[in-house]
Amino acid sequence: MEGEHGKKMKILCLHGFRTSGSFIKKQISKWDPSIFSQFHMEFPDGKFPAGGKSDIEGIFPPPYFEWFQFDKDFTKYTNLEECISYLTEYIIANGPFDGFLGFSQGATLSALLIGYQAQGKLLKEHPPIKFLVSISGSKFRDPSICDVAYKEPIKAKSVHFIGEKDWLKIPSEELASAFHKPLIIRHPQGHTVPRLDEVATGQLQNWVAEIISQPKVGVSICEDENKVEVDSTNHDKGVNGVEINKGNAETVEVA
């Protein structure tokens, strides 16, 4: 159950805006611990101290960090290039990493790095990133970024957690559409790392098992062009809440 050279496969986990590596580690601790038990996971803090109030003040202790800042339209960014350089250096120095996991700003960044790598813009000497776990992620909106990072469907395996009440619901769906045959896990909550029911936990475990079964770091390219959606917010659909449709994504909804 280990990757190349007998070592555990590695996941780089990037936290959300004005939180911390320790906080996202706590966030995903609500999931079944067996899901990522076969991986070594790293939780670095953002490059920059939080430039304003954190939404988790009074909930989780400081310090808080951010990866970059942005305008209200999410089309102009401050410190983004410095952040990308920092993460690229971190990945090279501490990798190789098999995959990324991120929440919100961390998921958005993770997808950007994978897209950029696929287009040869960065991490050229690092093995291709194999997979992404995106929780409330979104696409960048600057055309100069989009035209490169999302130029073609990203072939890394991906799972996307999308909340019904999340203010980033539609942007999260747009990000999922940038990937080849994504697995989408929907939940009824808002902008958060959701608790997973039995159906969603099983789907995520199966998805992870497919990754573990691949012996080397690299991009997994699926041959099947079908889209499968698994809905667990409504367990009356199909068998064990599984609804299968034609298309290019696989969706699980969490009650």
Please determine, for residue 230, whether its predicted confidence score (pLDDT) is greater than 70. no
The CA-CA-CA angle for residues 252, 211, 102, to 5°, reads 65
Question: What is residue 137's predicted lDDT score, i.e. its pLDDT?
Answer: 97
Sorting pLDDT into bands at 50, 70 and 90, what band is 245?
A: very low
Sorting pLDDT into bands at 50, 70 and 90, what band is 243?
A: very low
Question: What is residue 119's predicted lDDT score, i.e. its pLDDT?
Answer: 96
The CATH fold assigned to 9-213 is: Rossmann fold (3.40.50)
Question: What is residue 242's predicted lDDT score, i.e. its pLDDT?
Answer: 28
Please determine, for residue 253, whether its predicted confidence score (pLDDT) is greater than 90. no
Per-residue pLDDT tens for 164-207? 999 999 999 999 999 999 999 999 999 999 999 999 999 999 99
Per-residue pLDDT tens for 34-79? 999 999 999 999 999 999 999 999 999 999 999 999 988 888 999 9
Please determine, for residue 132, whether its predicted confidence score (pLDDT) is greater than 70. yes
- The answer to which of 27-41, 102-116, 187-201, 219-233 has the lowest mean pLDDT is 219-233
Please determine, for residue 113, whether its predicted confidence score (pLDDT) is greater than 60. yes
What pTM does this model have? Answer: 0.84
Stretch 140-149: mean pLDDT, rounded?
95
